[in-house]
Amino acid sequence: MSEFSYVNGLYVRSSDASVNVEDRGYQFADGVYEVISVYQAHLVDRDLHFDRLNRSLTELDIPWPCERRVLGVILAKLLKRNGLNNGSVYIQITRGVASRKHAFPTEQTRSSLVITCNRKGIPSSQDLENGVSVVTVKENRWGRRDIKSVSLLPNVMAKQYAVENGAFESWFVDDQLTITEGSSTNAWIVLKGGELVTRPTGTDILSGITRLKLIELAQAKNFHVTERPFTVKEALEAEEAFLTSTTSFVMPVVEIDGKRIGSGIPGPVSEALLQRYREHIIHSAEA
Ligand code: PDD
């Protein structure tokens, strides 16, 4: 974590930052979040993240803690205060502080806003170069995975399972044996001829900003993108596989459940898309 954080109106030393014990985020995971990459002191795809934040808040009926424009100002100030040029920011908004009752508080509460910065929010170049392995786990999350809720216990358990099995990520598999997404990433495969397949958005996955951007970038390079569910079997038989997220960019997947994908090294399509995504980050910082 960086030196300074933002907590409900104050820029404070992260070591001194604290929240109220009756914050509903703490007691009920009644809140939402965003993670945004920082490149050259620029927030990558900030407006798309703000749009998704707005959607998550609206779906849960949590008011914005401040105007959207003001959130942009706070973020810029915090980056400056931390001297953060490259990394990521974490934004969390909860329904606020109220005495513990499950239903929404009837008294007037104010949404809580907490922002922390991380200098290490970018993927390791070794992982990007060599590719990573994933393991599969049974889908066991709630039915509104489109909301970027801080309620992440199944995701935490799935990532821990990956770590314990020497993998980078876990991919959730539903009752139809299709892969929904990773514990903190979206999943993709590449078929013969370079067709890209990724699950369509809906309530069963998070609509990743990296996923969204990559579809646009891939189509601009004449890749054919099909949004449909795909099975573990299809992934194992695919030419290539990769995962996307703010903090993973376009990460080649070379192994699923100990079985090699394609030639077992990052493929040309994944590499080309990673390159394209990197260019996008650089261009957006220059804009
Ligand atoms: N995770 N799916 C899930 C479940 C996620 O948590 C994330 C992001 C993604 C990819 O979304 P995006 O491309 O917008 O980062 C997909 C963030 C990085 C996290 O929880 O740290």
- Give 240-278 pLDDT, tens digit per residue: 999 999 999 999 999 999 999 999 999 999 999 999 999
Give residue 1's pLDDT.
Answer: 73
Distance 148 CA to ligand 1 centre (A): 8
Give residue 33's pLDDT.
Answer: 98
Give residue 198's pLDDT.
Answer: 98
Atom of ligand 1 nearest to the CA of 211: 13
Please, what is the average pLDDT of the chain?
Answer: 97
Give residue 24's pLDDT.
Answer: 98
Q: Within 10 Å of residue 229's Cβ, how many Cβ atoms?
A: 18
Distance 247 CA to ligand 1 centre (A): 8
| Residue scoring higher pLDDT (108 or 274) | 274
Distance 208 CA to ligand 1 centre (A): 6
Q: Is the CB of 186 under 6 A from ligand 1?
A: yes
Contact by Cβ (8 Å): 40, 86: yes
Q: Do domains 4-118 and 125-286 have the same CATH topology?
A: no
| Residue scoring higher pLDDT (2 or 97) | 97
Give residue 108's pLDDT.
Answer: 84
Give residue 2's pLDDT.
Answer: 82
Domain boundaries, the chain: 4-118, 125-286
Tell me how far the alpha carbon of residue 11 is from its chain's centroid: 25
Give residue 237's pLDDT.
Answer: 98
Give residue 83's pLDDT.
Answer: 97
Q: Is-above-0.95 flag for pTM? A: yes
Confidence of residue 287 (pLDDT cuts 50, 70, 90): confident
Distance 70 CA to ligand 1 centre (A): 24
> Which residue minimizes the CA distance to atom 16 of ligand 1?
185
Give residue 120's pLDDT.
Answer: 83
Residue among 168, 185, 247 whose CB has most ligand 1 atoms within 8 A, to mutate: 185
pLDDT at 35 over 80: yes
Confidence of residue 160 (pLDDT cuts 50, 70, 90): very high
Atom of ligand 1 nearest to the CA of 155: 4
Residue among 50, 211, 245 whose CB has most ligand 1 atoms within 8 A, to mutate: 245
Handedness of CA 152, 46, 123, 238 (dihedral sign): positive
> Which residue minimizes the CA distance to atom 8 of ligand 1?
184
What's the CATH fold of domain 4-118? Answer: D-amino Acid Aminotransferase; Chain A, domain 1 (3.30.470)
Contact by Cβ (8 Å): 113, 66: yes
Q: Which of 134, 28, 154, 25 is nearest to 90 (CA)?
A: 25
Give residue 196's pLDDT.
Answer: 98
- Residues annotated as catalytic are 148
Atom of ligand 1 nearest to the CA of 210: 13
139 vs 169: CA distance, rounded Å: 14
Confidence of residue 62 (pLDDT cuts 50, 70, 90): very high
Give residue 205's pLDDT.
Answer: 98
Average pLDDT value for residue range 99-106: 95
Average pLDDT value for residue range 182-193: 98
Atom of ligand 1 nearest to the CA of 90: 21
242 vs 227: CA distance, rounded Å: 15
Q: Is the CB of 170 under 6 A from ligand 1?
A: no
| pLDDT tens track for 202-234 | 999 999 999 999 999 999 999 999 999 999 999
Q: Is the CB of 247 under 6 A from ligand 1?
A: yes
Q: What percent of the chain has pLDDT over 70?
A: 100
Confidence of residue 122 (pLDDT cuts 50, 70, 90): confident
Give residue 284's pLDDT.
Answer: 87
Distance 244 CA to ligand 1 centre (A): 8
Bridge partners (DSSP) of residue 240 are 190
Q: Token match 């699950």: residue?
A: 199
Q: Which option is the CATH number for 125-286: 3.40.50.2300, 3.10.450.50, 3.40.1260.10, 3.20.10.10? A: 3.20.10.10
